[in-house]
Amino acid sequence: MCGIAGIVGRNPENKVVLANMLEKQTHRGPDAKGIWSADEVFLGHNRLSILDLSEAANQPFFSNCGRYVIVFNGEIYNYLELKQSLDYPFRTKSDTEVLLAMYIKYRDNMINYLNGMFAFAIWDIQEKQLFAARDRFGVKPFYYSMAQSQFLFASEIKTLFAAGVTQTLNEEVWADYFVHGSYGYPEETFFKDIYQLAPGHSLSYREGDHRPQISQYYDFVDQVKHQPVFEDEKRLQEEYLELLLDSIRLRFRSDVPVGFNVSGGLDSSILLAMISRIKEGEMQNIEAFSFYTGDERYDELPWVKDLISKTKSPLNPVLLSQSEVPDLIEKVAYFQDEPFGGFPTIAYSRIFERARQKGFLVLLDGQGMDEAWAGYDYYRSDSNALVQGIKSSLTRPNVISPELCAKARAISYPEPFDNPLQNKQYRDVYFTKIPRALRFNDRVSMMHSTELREPFLDYRLVEMAFAQKREMKIKQGQGKWLPRQLVKKELENIALAPKRPLQTPQREWIGGPLSDFVEDRISMLRSNPWIEKNALDLEWQNYKNGQNDNSFFVWQWINTSFFEG
């Protein structure tokens, strides 16, 4: 897990600019910093050492022939299997060198062999061409921009700001955020001149091109439609379990200690149960981390302790206290670069901080199970809701100026499947739930120089689960039916429990002990041309008076106070 950056262009100041870019994302890789440049290209890398801790694996990394140079962020989990298939004189034990060797053998097609999370760029010195790609679900970030006739890319938005890219806000994305609660389409960011390489896409660029050439290499819909649909539940359990155990085994490959994040829910329970099967007799060396707030209405710590008691894994409870929230919000906002999730994201950041302090540089978590196996309550209804457990409107568009509201788009998502359930799942995997969670989690893990791995997002698992019939996902009023059966004997109480949103006392703290802090942040918006001051004051007063079924719209205001409209 690292940070990458680069410039394709001939400005003589680019080497200095690239050094400034790398400085901005040092937190992504504090173990080494590298720069390589030629006349028309400048590549940089911040390294967090996870595999092959030697200096020989530092980046930018060259092929043996000297023609190719790579900067790479992520992990190729199946690198050992790929390595066995290659006739190549390896100099390191890193997955970076395997990735480069795969490109030399297969060129663009090599991406289809990779099982991992990745964002990388390879420069062909002979052809003077850049090739870059992002993993299938967008676990790792890849931002780019065209500035002064140059192509710039980086792992974080602030890195591009350090290169002189303008910080002009993308008003359409902001309008959609205020009106619909959305965070932009896969290619967009909250900034007008900064784009994302969409998940499952690659790009190529030559000096002088007006824009990069972008191609889709991963067709999720096509892959799902070619998956077997099981009629026999037992057979499906067996097939899925085999892949699930393999996915977790692959994600334990590391030359540094690996731990895991745990809540009291089903996903964490399944993860723990599977780790216990794989690492039987070693659980005392695999530590668990879980946050709590001291509020028994929301905390899952009692369930977590009960769950962990079934293994010998040491548990690290991490307290998020009300008094530290204001400072944490400001710190996390700096690392997020764009509007982010609420107090759960902040609490999650504390987990990675503690893990880093204890020497656990890699954590696993249960992200992706709900979307693959239809775990949210709105999957079981005709609702088009995006958030579980919320009945009132998430947003307050009346607080936003008519001029900005008019720029909000009619948000719609593709419906490539012949049934509403799979279309909702597809929306959540590529447009709503997963993209948001992955962005929030990448930033809070990397702000503490730690790596997060999500075994349930192994593309093989997602494709298999996604393809199955509704009755394999939802039965007896419960989502995630089949995964529940995998751990029913081991964890019966948890396996049968309903889905609970992971929560903090955000709603109560915002209107209570933190109301002065919130008031200060909101006051910063009163002169913002996007904001209707009187409506803002009225909605805030109503919230404090008890109209607080949800706090998302107040959190939007807090988020917005860190940006200039």
- pLDDT 10s per residue in the chain (565 long)? 699 999 999 998 999 999 999 999 999 999 999 999 999 999 999 999 999 999 999 999 999 999 999 999 999 999 999 999 999 999 999 999 999 999 999 999 999 999 999 999 999 999 999 999 999 999 999 999 999 899 999 999 999 999 999 999 999 999 999 999 999 999 999 999 999 999 999 999 999 899 999 999 999 999 999 999 999 999 999 999 999 999 999 999 999 999 999 987 889 889 999 999 999 888 888 999 999 999 988 898 988 998 888 888 899 999 999 999 999 999 999 999 999 999 999 999 999 999 999 999 999 999 999 999 999 999 998 766 666 555 668 999 999 999 999 999 999 999 999 999 999 999 999 999 999 999 999 999 999 999 999 999 999 999 999 999 999 999 988 899 999 998 876 666 554 555 555 589 999 999 999 999 999 999 999 999 999 999 999 999 999 999 888 999 999 999 999 997 5
The answer to whether 428 touches 434, Cβ cutoff 8 Å, is yes
Binding site as annotated, residues: 95
Is residue 286 in some structural domain? yes
Q: Which of 1, 2, 374, 531 is catalytic?
A: 2
Asked if residue 326 and residue 190 are part of one domain, the reply reads: no
- Is 65 among the catalytic positions? no
Asked if residue 238 and residue 191 are part of one domain, the reply reads: no
Is residue 238 in some structural domain? yes
Q: Is 144 exposed, middle or buried (0-12, 13-18, 19+ CB in 10 A)?
A: buried
Residue 137 CA, distance from chain mean position: 9
Asked if residue 212 and residue 328 are part of one domain, the reply reads: no
Asked if residue 38 and residue 133 are part of one domain, the reply reads: yes
Asked if residue 289 and residue 204 are part of one domain, the reply reads: no
Sequence-ordered list of residues with C-beta below 8 angstroms from that of 16, at least 6 positions apart, any chain:
none
Sequence-ordered list of residues with C-beta below 8 angstroms from that of 4, at least 6 positions apart, any chain:
43, 44, 45, 46, 71, 72, 73, 119, 120, 121, 153, 154, 155
Asked if residue 230 and residue 137 are part of one domain, the reply reads: no
Asked if residue 161 and residue 268 are part of one domain, the reply reads: no
Asked if residue 149 and residue 77 are part of one domain, the reply reads: yes
pTM of the model as a whole:
0.95
The count of structural domains within the chain is 2
Cα 500 from Cα 502, distance rounded (Å):
6
Residue 301 CA, distance from chain mean position: 24
Is residue 542 in some structural domain? no
Give the CATH number, domain containing residue 138.
Answer: 3.60.20.10
Edge to edge, the sheet with strand 213-216 lists: 61-62, 68-76, 116-124, 129-134, 201-206, 213-216
Residue 310 CA, distance from chain mean position: 30
Range of the domain at 193: 2-218
Per the structure block, which two tokens stand in for 358? 């204890």
Binding site as annotated, residues for L-glutamine: 95
Cα 308 from Cα 292, distance rounded (Å):
15
Helices marked H in 300-419: 301-308, 325-336, 343-357, 369-373, 402-405
